[in-house]
Amino acid sequence: EAGVAQSPRYKIIEKRQSVAFWCNPISGHATLYWYQQILGQGPKLLIQFQNNGVVDDSQLPKDRFSAERLKGVDSTLKIQPAKLEDSAVYLCASSFGADTQYFGPGTRLTVL
């Protein structure tokens, strides 16, 4: 079966610019997660969707980050405007319920 797809794989922007990441989960997985992983740290959960509803977005900086999951399948994560400290790898994962999470390859964001 196909894995979790993410794009782009790499993105370089200047601070105050906007950026968007896309994720296509494994078919049939109702739960989708977006994580931020700063170099040398563990993944930090930004938002968790169950179908197209939000389960947990308590760690999402809502003044600049937004995420949506239209039709309960694909998801996009947006940052507007970006700050230097947003430089990180953004990981998308999906699961069948609260079960094994399968991760995509991630998007490495560099903010200059």
Query: Cβ 53 to another protein, closest distance in Å?
Result: 11
75 lies in the binding site for another protein (CB under 8 A)? no
Interactions with another protein, residue window 11-70 (CB under 8 A): 33, 41-45, 48, 55-56, 58
Query: Cβ 112 to another protein, closest distance in Å?
Result: 21
Tell me how far CA of residue 110 lies from CA of 10, 13, 14, 49, 71, in angstroms: 8, 6, 8, 26, 30
Cα–Cα dist 65/62, whole Å = 5
Give 17 or 37: the residue with its C-beta nearer to another protein: 37
The footprint of another protein (CB under 8 A) covers 33, 41-45, 48, 55-56, 58, 91, 93, 98-106
